[in-house]
Amino acid sequence: MSGVTRRQEQVLDFIAGELRAGKRTPTYDEICAHLGLKSRSSAHYLVAFLIEAGRLRKVGTRELQLVGGAEDHLRAVLEALSRTSGSSLPAVRRAQEFLEGRPMPTFHVIPYAGAA
């Protein structure tokens, strides 16, 4: 994950795991306990940064929502493929280039000759 520290990534992974398991957003105390943080203000700072960075979104007064689903999903798929022979496929290489910020090639749609 680019743009976040290792600790911020750990917080995001913990929150994401709880939400994906169908649980509620963890409290600052639960984040502290899970990561071994000593103060709730540290957990608050880490969560606030993730909100500011656009990785989490506040919903209501207490709940959080993950942001960036499609890109994160693509990264996870590419990571899984990198452990197999699928990483050599041209489509995989193009997707990795897209995530690195390189422009995607343009495709032109040619109408079917029989179409009216």
Residue 91: give the domain boundaries.
70-99
| Per-residue model confidence (pLDDT) at position 42 | 95
| Per-residue model confidence (pLDDT) at position 1 | 46
Per-residue pLDDT tens digits for 46-91: 999 999 888 888 888 888 888 766 666 677 777 777 777 666 777 7
Q: Is residue 114 part of a domain?
A: no
Q: Is residue 1 part of a domain?
A: no
The larger pLDDT score, comparing residue 89 to residue 112, is at 89
Burial classification of residue 75, based on how many CB atoms lie within 10 Å of its CB (0-12 exposed, 13-18 middle, 19 or more buried) = middle
pLDDT class of 105 with cuts at 50, 70, 90: low
| Per-residue model confidence (pLDDT) at position 47 | 95
Q: Is residue 30 part of a domain?
A: yes
Q: Is residue 88 left, alpha or beta, with left meaning phi > 0 and alpha meaning psi from -120 to 50? A: alpha
Q: Is residue 105 part of a domain?
A: no
How many distinct structural domains can be found in the chain? Answer: 2
Regarding whether 88 and 51 lie in a shared domain, the answer is no
Cα end-to-end span (Å), the chain = 48
Regarding whether 76 and 43 lie in a shared domain, the answer is no
**How far is the CA of 78 from the CAs of 4, 5, 12, 25, in angstroms?**
20, 21, 20, 28
